[in-house]
Amino acid sequence: MDANRAVDMAVPFAGLTFQNPVAVASGTFGFGREYGQYFDLGRLGAVCVKGLTLRPRAGNPPPRVAETPMGMLNSVGLQNPGAEAFLRDELPFLRGFDTLVVANVSGDTVEEYAALAGLLSDGGVDMLEVNISCPNVKAGGLLFGTDPRSAAAVTEAVKRRARVPVMVKLTPNVTDIAEMARAVESAGADALSLINTLVGMRIDVHTRRPVLYRGTGGLSGPAIRPVAVRCVYQAARAVRLPIMGMGGIACAEDAVEFLLAGAHTVAVGTALFRDETAPLSILEGLTSYCQENGISDIRTLTGALLE
């Protein structure tokens, strides 16, 4: 195939069309303003915004991040201005770019998730990403994501109120990811995103105290990529929902692994902290990979793992 021939990078996803499969992961891109200085956000398939709650949250006290081999720990604790302030102050900025806006939501109760779904879908976001997998908050979060019945209850409540597609974000901190995927599919989810961070801990050997204020945090970055690829693979075999895969993606080949495992789109997170233009190099690398391998439509890579 001609190395310069155009590759169709558009991906249908839960009733929407991603202009290309590369998104940015929630909590690592803020609301896009800082990154807007470095590149045109309209080149992204989607922006998953910082996790939103009904009321503003100050987040956890510092230290909230720590380095680890090939990754990082964070316990930011969902610091955000609240959903109403997001709609008023941030969404109009993001709407200035030709990209999908995905609102990531967290609640302490099922009712809070439902209220957020109503507020944000009426407010004009393109998709909801229901975070039932945050390891860094006391109530809600991971509690909903580790029990199939609770995960289904949140999904059903959100679906009743949402007027846009609902993507549920799963945690790898479970014994059986396929069971969780099936539970939220049966409850009406339109898509899955996975994975959120793995619970981890570091200890300062001089003070004998945890490095992070809250003790534990969420591990992200290349260290978790094989776990993430395995989760996407197992979820893709268990359900028919489209999947946004993430966890340690730092280059195009990493993204291809997720697509082959069964993801339809990918999100770049921690890699942004080393290189704020990483999503663009990954997108360009994906296009080159397709050209070099005679692939004219990126969609043909999804689930194309040979076994």
Q: Rounded to 5 degrees, what are φ and ψ at 57?
A: -130, 140
Which residues are within 8 A (CB) of 204 and not within 5 positions of it... i.e. 6 or more apart? 210, 211
Rounded to a whole number of angstroms, the minimum distance from the CB of residue 196 to ligand FMN is 5
Rounded to a whole number of angstroms, the minimum distance from the CB of residue 214 to ligand FMN is 13
Q: Rounded to 5 degrees, what are φ and ψ at 259?
A: -65, -45
Is 170 a binder of ligand FMN (CB under 6 A)?
no
Q: Which H helix or E strand runs over 267? A: strand 265-268
Structure tokens at 274: 């080393």
As a dihedral over the C-alpha atoms of residue 232, residue 237, residue 240, residue 244, rounded to 10 degrees, the angle is: 10
Q: Compose the 204-243 pattern: x for residues touching ligand FMN by CB under 6 A, - for all others.
A: ----------------xx--x-------------------
Q: Which of 53, 155, 171, 197 binds ligand FMN (CB under 6 A)?
A: 197
Q: Which of 28, 121, 234, 302 binds ligand FMN (CB under 6 A)?
A: 28
Whether the Cβ atoms of residue 125 and residue 99 lie closer than 8 Å to each other: no
DSSP state of 307: -
Residue of 134, 231, 251, 290 marked active site: 134
Report the alpha-carbon distance of residue 247 to residue 270 in Å, rounded: 8
Is 249 a binder of ligand FMN (CB under 6 A)?
yes
Of the candidates 162, 164, 165, 158, the one whose C-alpha atom is nearest the C-alpha of residue 187 is 158
Q: Which of 23, 46, 76, 164 binds ligand FMN (CB under 6 A)?
A: 76
Q: Which of 269, 279, 286, 289 binds ligand FMN (CB under 6 A)?
A: 269
Is 116 a binder of ligand FMN (CB under 6 A)?
no
Q: Which of 242, 247, 262, 279 binds ligand FMN (CB under 6 A)?
A: 247
Exposure string over 108-128, b if 16+ CB within 10 A, otherwise e: bebebbbbbbebbbeeebbbb
Per the DSSP assignment, residues forming a β-bridge with 243 are 192
48: annotated active-site residue? no
Amino acid at 23: A
Rounded to a whole number of angstroms, the minimum distance from the CB of residue 159 to ligand FMN is 18
Nearer to ligand FMN, 196 or 302 (CB): 196
Is 183 a binder of ligand FMN (CB under 6 A)?
no
Is 115 a binder of ligand FMN (CB under 6 A)?
no
Of the candidates 13, 75, 1, the one whose C-alpha atom is nearest the C-alpha of residue 48 is 13
Is 54 a binder of ligand FMN (CB under 6 A)?
no
Q: Which range binds ligand FMN by CB under 6 A, 26-34, 92-100, 254-262, 296-304?
A: 26-34
- Residues near ligand FMN, by CB under 6 A: 25-28, 50-51, 74, 76, 78, 104, 131, 134, 169, 196-197, 220-221, 224, 246-249, 268-271
User: Which residues are catalytic, by number?
Assistant: 134
